[in-house]
Amino acid sequence: MRHLALLLLVVTSSKNFASPITETSSKLLWSTLISVFEVNTPGLRDPLISAALDSYENFALDENSEASKGDQYYQSQILGDKNRNNKVFSQNSAFEQLKEETMATAFAHVLKEFFNEQPSRAQLGGIFCWATVGGGGEQPTWHSPHTHQNSVLSAVYYAAVPDDGSGAPITFSDPRGPWTNLKHSHQPVNNTIVVFPSWLEHFIPPTNSPQYRISYSCNLPGSFKTTTDLNIEL
Ligand SMILES: [Fe+2]
Query: How confident is residue 51, by pLDDT bands cut at 50, 70 and 90?
Result: very high
CATH of the domain at 141: 2.60.120.620
Q: What burial letters (b/e) apply to 81-94, b meaning 16+ CB within 10 Å? A: eeeeebebbeebeb
Note whether residue 221 is domain-resident.
Answer: yes
Number of residues that this document lists for the chain: 234
Note whether residue 156 is domain-resident.
Answer: yes
The residue segments making up the domain with residue 217 are 31-226
Note whether residue 21 is domain-resident.
Answer: no
Note whether residue 114 is domain-resident.
Answer: yes
Alpha carbon of 99 to ligand 1 centroid (Å): 16
Q: What is the pLDDT of residues 9-34, one digit of tens each?
A: 444 455 567 999 999 999 898 999 99
Residue 202, amino acid: H
Q: What is the pLDDT of residues 159-193, one digit of tens each?
A: 999 988 777 899 999 999 889 999 999 999 999 99
Note whether residue 171 is domain-resident.
Answer: yes
Alpha carbon of 173 to ligand 1 centroid (Å): 12
Alpha carbon of 143 to ligand 1 centroid (Å): 8
User: What number of CA atoms fall less than 13 Å from residue 17's CA on the CB side?
Assistant: 5
- Predicted TM-score (pTM) of the model is 0.89
Note whether residue 233 is domain-resident.
Answer: no
Q: What burial letters (b/e) apply to 206-215, b meaning 16+ CB within 10 Å? A: ebebebbbbb
Alpha carbon of 47 to ligand 1 centroid (Å): 23
Helix (H) or strand (E) holding 193: strand 192-197
Note whether residue 1 is domain-resident.
Answer: no
Total number of domains in the chain: 1
Note whether residue 14 is domain-resident.
Answer: no
